[in-house]
Amino acid sequence: MKYFLTLFFSVLFFSCSSDNDESIKEVSVKLKFSQNWDGTIIEKSDLENTEFTNKTGSKLTISRLRYLISRISLVNGAGDTTKFDSYKLIDVSKPDSLTHSLSKKISEGSYKLLFTFGFNNSDNQSGTYPDLNSADWNVPDMMGGGYHYMQLDGKYKDTLGVENPYNFHAVRAYDKEKDSILDTSFRIETSSILLKNNATVEIKMNVAGWFKSPNDWDLNEKSVDLMMDFEAQKEISENGKSGVFSLGNISQ
């Protein structure tokens, strides 16, 4: 009798163990970064070629679009946070940079994806990141130091139809007169994502959004030297927070 009871509980134990093993599934996640102009996809071939119109009516082309995100994390329904690599530089001219595999697997389930546009002040220390130094991503100390958040460059047509350069660069705001810094990076949080299998999650940037809401941006008034413009950096940050980034397709 003792033998049969032992056998019974052994079978039950291993059966339960097997069920638990099956219930724990780990998945990998890849981020895919896409860019658009109010829904029209922007690709490498559009650089220097495709003309867009911003909300104030300025016609412009894009020659360069690079931006950085940092502090990527996934938060599950219980509020547990999984943190990943410290930062990612996206360059529209380099298709390989448009995807990013998260460094570790997670258990299947529902998550919110969070990341920071740019670096927050604690991460934004001059000379800290060799790869960004070589990518010409630094901000001179006379402009507050640290690193860029975004470089969006190109040409626009002024009110006379003459082409002029613009350098729509996002950095932390620096007030030269007061020698004070304002952290203008911002945190982005998506809605919940149900991850059941290895997944690719699309993060969309609406480039047109940088030029509108709440600050309609007239390039005839502000187009260059924005890195030294404290108020301009605050407005760029405000526009960025207002729906420039959104969750796209999820394939799994």
Rounded-to-integer distance, Cα 186 and Cα 196, Å: 29
Supply the pLDDT for residue 161.
97
- The total number of residues written for the chain in this structure: 252
Q: Which residues contact 8 (CB under 8 A, 6 or more apart)?
A: none
Residues 112-158 pLDDT 10s: 999 999 999 999 999 999 999 999 999 999 999 999 999 999 999 99
Does 130 sit behind a cis peptide bond, omega within 30 degrees of 0 on the bond before it?
A: no
Residues 33-65 pLDDT 10s: 999 999 999 999 999 999 999 999 999 999 999
Return the amino acid letter for 165: P
**Percent of the chain's residues with pLDDT above 90:** 90
21 pLDDT band, cuts 50/70/90, is low
| Residue ranges per structural domain of the chain | 41-251
For the record, the structure tokens of 149 come out as 């958040």
Q: Phi and psi dihedrals of 122, rounded to 5? A: -70, -30
